[in-house]
Structure 1
Amino acid sequence: MFAIPLRQPSSMSKSQKQSSSMDDHDKPFQYEITDHGYGKDAVKVLHVSRKGPVHTIQEYEVGTHLKLYSKKDYYQGNNSDIVATDSQKNTVYLLAKKHGVESPEKFAILLAQHFLNKYSHVEEAHVHVEAYPWQRVCQDETKANANGLAPVGNQGSCNFSSIDNRSLHNHAFIFTPTAQHYCDVVARRTDPKQTVITGIKGLRVLKTTQSSFVNFVNDEFRSLPDQYDRIFSTVVDCSWEYSSTDNLDFLRAWQTVKNIILRNFAGDPQVGISSPSVQHTLYLSERQVLDVLPQVSVISMTMPNKHYFNFDTKPFQKIAPGDNNEVFIPVDKPHGTIYAQLARKNINSHL
């Protein structure tokens, strides 16, 4: 669940070194704790912002992990430096009450900096936030006839990207799990710049044509024929790291990345776009994110192939004559997995 940062604290103060040496007297000389930490996971919080009749909600699942300079809780059973995980849980609620909630990234940064500022013996704070995908109920979805049925032709017609607030409900919401927005923030006392990683998880997409896979290695192990037109389906997992977060609209940036992925997968609504391979589609998406968002230093994306195999109707010509290009068998396992990380040159990544 938690991303593992690559950078390590570069130095310790005199008091921190003394604290570390105090731990050593009960440490077995042949062993050493090389990584440690603790925290509270899956803290669920709902924040409601009430501005007149229009309400806005944010529901998060939050994890907070702390790394202390001292390891005396491990070596000696001395708990005097431990900020209880119950206190960490309460901190989530109290900071949400005091400061409000705008985006997963800003709330995670607020929490991480709080732990460093409040407790001088905390070396590192790592906060993970997953946002629940609530959207306002659209006006079209509340329309119904006398029988309680939606008008013909309105099913699924609601445009959730509408900027006309009159068409969106003031205080009613619908759960729309198209994809999950999450982030990781790591703040270290020895590093003035926190690590901010944002991601998209579980974005499942499918298109029925304009995907091919041909001219791959042809050897004695190959059984898959060239595929000039196939169903292309995948579940996109994507994460990226910001080199700068000053004045950044995190929610807009997340939506921008999502839109770029969908555009490179689907193309124009009437024309589409050709996908010669999953690899090429993935690369085009990552490259465009770096082109459009200069604050992003590196992006990583995984696209597993969710296969839909054509059902063979040849033995059943008396029942279903002709070729079959309408009925497919969904096969999730086994599946191919394609991934790549694209970075600006001379940038160190924590992904």
Structure 2
Amino acid sequence: MSTYKIVDDAYGKSGVKLLHIKRDGPVHSIRELEVNTQLTLSSKKDYTTGDNSDIVATDSQKNTVYLLAKKHGVNSPEEFAITLCRHFLNTYNHVLKVQVHIELYPWQRAEIDGKKHNHAFVFTPVAVRVCTVRMERNGVPVVESGLKDLRVLKTTQSAFVNFVTDDYRSLPDASDRVFSTVITSRWVYSTTNVDYCKAWNGVKDAILSVFSGPADKGIFSPSVQNTLHLTEKLVLDSIPEINYIEMILPNKHYVNVDLSKFKNVGFAHNDTVLQPLDKPSGNIRAALARTLPSKL
């Protein structure tokens, strides 16, 4: 007769949205978050026997998010996630581990006549900031930050040549092509003694620097893989608190439209009118980690 064991479980509240306003006199600051909580309990009787006596209701978890935001404020999503993890573990002895995932909505202070506004904001979705904090009883927080939906494009200084030639190849060498991708990245810190906002902006700046190069002359990319690797290396070189980073770079293809087939009105050469192709696309992923402990 077969026997079974629950080997993994968690439950929580998803999509808890909140806007926190910090009021310093006439100058206001905002953080809009979407929070997901997950708890793992010491017993499994809720699953195995239908006994709900240990369950911290997901509605209670939602209320906790709002109450702790009011009590502690929201300085950074990472710090708020750590606060939530510690609260659940300290309040409920039968909670073994907690995971909190947060997305920060990209609001920026409006600028009017070159001056930042006291209380007006503009939604600027250059990239979405995310974080996940995991913590077990008697453990320390494991903080993972990240970004997604960072869409970038450059019109030159990108190539892809000298790849495998066999019976299945149809793609020609491209010595000068459009390079476009939508970047997703996540990274893990080796400590909680971090200025999380400074570090997040540092990663974003490193991504844009390696992709773009100097404003007047750019930088050459021989492949998406090489650009990805150089970016991750720069992040680890410049931010010692990070010990692991992963990036995912899907190709967003733009191909030259063949205008030569229009005999009387067409053009033999065209590198200015391109057609976006969403699917299928290449998808490149790699992670880089320190082989020696970071010296902080």
Where on the TM-score scale, by shorter chain, does this alignment land: which range? over 0.9
Q: Is residue 131 of structure 2 the alignment partner of residue 183 of structure 1? A: yes
Q: Is the 8 A contact 2:180 2:252 kept in 1?
A: yes
Q: Deviations over 1:174-231 (max 9, x none)?
A: 101110000000010142x211000010100000000000111111111111100000
* DSSP 3-state at the match of 1:319: coil
1:213 is aligned to: 160
Q: Deviations over 1:259-287 (max 9, x none)?
A: 00000000111110000000000000000
2:277 is aligned to: 331
Partner of residue 311 from structure 1, selected from 241, 245, 257: 257
Q: Alpha-carbon deviation of 1:317?
A: 3.9
Kindly name which structure, 1 or 2, has the bigger radius of gyration based on alpha carbons.
Answer: 1
Q: Is residue 13 of structure 2 the alignment partner of residue 40 of structure 1? A: yes
2:115 is aligned to: 167
1:245 is aligned to: 192
The structure whose RCO (Cα within 8 Å, separation 6+) is larger is 1
Q: Is residue 75 of structure 2 the alignment partner of residue 115 of structure 1? A: no
Structure 1: unaligned runs, 5 residues or longer? 1-27, 141-165
Partner of residue 99 from structure 2, selected from 118, 126, 145: 126
Partner of residue 73 from structure 2, selected from 70, 82, 100: 100
Q: Is residue 189 of structure 2 the alignment partner of residue 236 of structure 1? A: no
Q: Is residue 171 of structure 2 the alignment partner of residue 224 of structure 1? A: yes
Counterpart AA for 2:192: T
1:259 is aligned to: 205
Q: Alpha-carbon deviation of 1:71?
A: 0.4
2:225 is aligned to: 279
* DSSP 3-state at the match of 2:12: strand
Partner of residue 63 from structure 1, selected from 30, 36, 51: 36
* DSSP 3-state at the match of 1:40: coil
CA RMSD for the aligned pairs? 1.2
Q: Alpha-carbon deviation of 1:32?
A: 1.1
* DSSP 3-state at the match of 2:222: coil
Q: Alpha-carbon deviation of 1:48?
A: 0.2
**Identical pairs, percent:** 56
Q: Alpha-carbon deviation of 1:298?
A: 0.4
Detail structure 1 runs of 4+ shifted over 3 Å in the superposition.
none
Calculate the TM-score normalised by the size of structure 2. Answer: 0.97
1:12 is aligned to: none
2:112 is aligned to: 139
Q: Deviations over 1:38-88 (max 9, x none)?
A: 000000010000001100000000001000010011111111111010000
1:24 is aligned to: none
